[in-house]
Amino acid sequence: MYVMRKIDRLLKSINSFIKEEEEEITELVPEFPGLEKVPGYIEGYEKKVAKLLRTQRKYYIDGINAFVAKDVTLDTLLEHIIGELFKSDGFVADMEEETKVYLAMNISELTSVIMEAIDEDVAFEVLSVRTTKWIEDWAHDLSLLMQLNTHRAIEDAFMIAIENGDGIEKAVMTIKDLPQFDRARARTTAITEILAACSRSQWEAYQQSPAVVGKTWRHSGSKKNNPRPAHVKLNNTTIPVDDKFDVNGHEADYPRDPSLPGSERIKCHCVLSPEVDERILGLTKEEKEKIRQEALEQLK
């Protein structure tokens, strides 16, 4: 009985912790259509990424243990890791697949909600070729970047262990505890990439909505965040949908655009809002549909 109560209490506190985190995200990001879907997306993607990172950690620990049985030095072990284990690491392929599926689903759903909020006459049907291609490219690049970062961390940890003259057991423990395999990394990745997917959905919806003539950058405010001066400065800046924002010297279509360095993406909670031309909104449904088809043609 006592154990059950303890587990109950534990589960309750975990649930309330997750709930607080969710509330925090919707609180941190300025309101936009579809925002209520975001915490669920983040949670789902975080779980998938966390699982892939755990699998990757196990792959290295198992691979190292199998090799260590042959009684080797740290130098030959590192050679084996770089020469063999890095090459057969399956993380990129798995991460790319999960990310592709997840982004395509979330971006379609969000684009649909955003388009409906702009103009009920022009309902979402398909993603543009450009955004479909973007999802594929970014899913690959993101997975590759994450893997490179992990490989570098493993290599660095071993170099330090060799320098310190550590034993193999200690070096393996360091690999096990690398933050690259942590839940926290899955969480940060999920928040950044799902919020990037939100921006991409806004951009896609504006491209496909004939009445949208501009996009406005909205900064999240400084609540529980260290605001970046460049992002604060961009607040309320409106430019044509096809133009790029200048974010601290870097070009971006929207907040957290993968064209930006990590320092301008991670923990950024800025969003876009649409500039709508009322005259276009008043055109007939057929006229607006024709404009949408032309836009989709342009985005091939």
Q: Could you list the residues that contact Zn ion (CB under 5 A)? A: 231, 268, 270
CB nearer to Zn ion: pick between 54 and 228: 228
State in angstroms the smallest separation of the CB of 265 from Zn ion. Answer: 9
CB nearer to Zn ion: pick between 168 and 239: 239
Question: To which H or E segment does residue 251 belong?
Answer: strand 250-252
**Phi, then psi, of 276 in degrees rounded to 5:** -105, 135
Tokens 């799902």 -> residue: 194
Could you tell me the two tokens for 270? 């800025």
Tokens 């975080």 -> residue: 46
Beta carbons within 8 Å of 132's beta carbon, 6+ residues apart = 104
Asked if residues 111 and 98 have their Cβ atoms less than 8 Å apart, the reply is no
CB nearer to Zn ion: pick between 80 and 265: 265
Residue 259's alpha-carbon distances to 53, 144, 298, in angstroms, are 25, 15, 21
Asked if residues 56 and 89 have their Cβ atoms less than 8 Å apart, the reply is yes
CB nearer to Zn ion: pick between 200 and 231: 231
CB nearer to Zn ion: pick between 205 and 270: 270
State in angstroms the smallest separation of the CB of 231 from Zn ion. Answer: 4
